[in-house]
Amino acid sequence: MKTNLSLLSVLLCTLLFPNTLTAQDAESDSTIYPYVLPIWGQKAQDRGFGDQLQLPFGFNVNYVNAFIDMEITEFGLAIAGHDLSGVVNKETLNFTNVNATTNGLNYRADAWVLPFLDVYALFSAVTGGTDVSLQPTWTDATGETILQLPEFSSSVEFDALAYGIGTTFIFGWEGYFLSTDVNISRTDTELLKDQVGYLTLSARVGHRFFLNKNNRDLFVAPYFGMMYRNFVGSKGNNGTINMDEVFPDLQDTFDTTVDAKIQANDDEIAMLNSNPIQNAGEIAKLTAENAALNTIKTKVDDSGVFSTEIDYFIKKDLKQTVTFQFGFNLQLNKHWMVRGEYGVADSQRFLMTGLQYRFGVKKRGLQ
């Protein structure tokens, strides 16, 4: 009786739900593509490529380190509301070196919407620093140098957040693959009032090598390519920074220089005191100079000028926008992949390494 009831139940289920499969059924039937993405995943399965598709959803965590040489193409300066652009600008500051270094974590979530098209969103949290060297130089109308200060450098550290979207196209044939990638991102940093747009274009070509003939999920895919990166939509940025952040030793240098001058005057006064009557005029002059120096030092230190906010306008461009890229993807299994990449050019260096986890969401009825 129980056997007859069981057979009847199976028959009713077959009649009422003829297209319903269990997850176990789908896994045992190699003609069924079980996941909601990519679109046309079933077509790829029908053509025998289903086992070559990655799991459709992924999450990446990457460490990124970059060094970039830049040039200042426009610059303006105001201190305490006074515009100094007429005398302090790109030409007079004479920037000799400008570079930036950033490092931090990049997070990316992606999905294969078509077998050859991946879309993703990215978010980065980085720290970095900007090194600037300059030798202020002023010339007259004929171009003759009338004043040139010694070359000096300053470094400013910053934190930045970046977020963006991108897409990857990929084509494969007999183990070879070609991929192109484009993404655009925006960066927020406390140093700049406006966001900075960034465009990245890249193309890579490589080959897949299986590491275990009995396990086609384990393979390494080395590649090489080129990457283009540049600012987009930027007409320059306004920013505000304290003077002691740009020149952290300026107050100590000022105080040390004044103290050294006062000490030198005191030493000369001590020598002149061997004949105070004859040297009375010089002694009085040096004593008055020391009093003035002490007054200047006190007023300048108490004025807060060394922590004054500097308002500036700056436009930067990359010296070089293209790098050559070399890297690899090491797939451990369908879920885990390790990636490393290095990019190099005369004025840029780029290093990235990270870990990727992939998973699938099954179609309704295959849960």
Q: Centre a 10 Å sphere on the Cβ of residue 83 and count the other Cβ atoms it contains.
A: 12
Give the tens place of pLDDT for each residue, 81-114.
777 777 777 888 788 888 999 999 999 999 999 9
Q: What pLDDT is recorded for position 234?
A: 65
Give the tens place of pLDDT for each residue, 198-245.
899 999 999 999 999 889 899 999 999 999 998 876 677 777 777 676
CA-based nearest residue to 104, from 162, 188, 166? 162
Q: What pLDDT is recorded for position 108?
A: 97
DSSP 50: G
Check pLDDT > 50 for residue 11.
Answer: no
Q: What pLDDT is recorded for position 151?
A: 79
Sign of CA dihedral 257, 95, 309, 192: negative
Give the tens place of pLDDT for each residue, 131-149.
888 887 877 677 777 667 6
Q: What pLDDT is recorded for position 305?
A: 58
DSSP 295: H
One-letter amino acid identity for 101?
A: T
Structure token digits, residue 44: 């790829």
Give the tens place of pLDDT for each residue, 34-79.
999 999 988 988 888 777 889 999 999 999 999 999 888 888 877 7
CA-based nearest residue to 86, from 37, 138, 41? 138
Beta bridge partners of 181: 168, 202
Task: Tell me the mean pLDDT in the region 188-200.
Answer: 78
Q: What pLDDT is recorded for position 49?
A: 79
For residues 328 and 304, the answer to whether their CB atoms sit within 8 Å is no
For residues 141 and 64, the answer to whether their CB atoms sit within 8 Å is no
Mean pLDDT score of the chain, rounded to an integer?
A: 82
Structure token digits, residue 117: 């098209």
For residues 166 and 201, the answer to whether their CB atoms sit within 8 Å is no
Q: What pLDDT is recorded for position 240?
A: 78
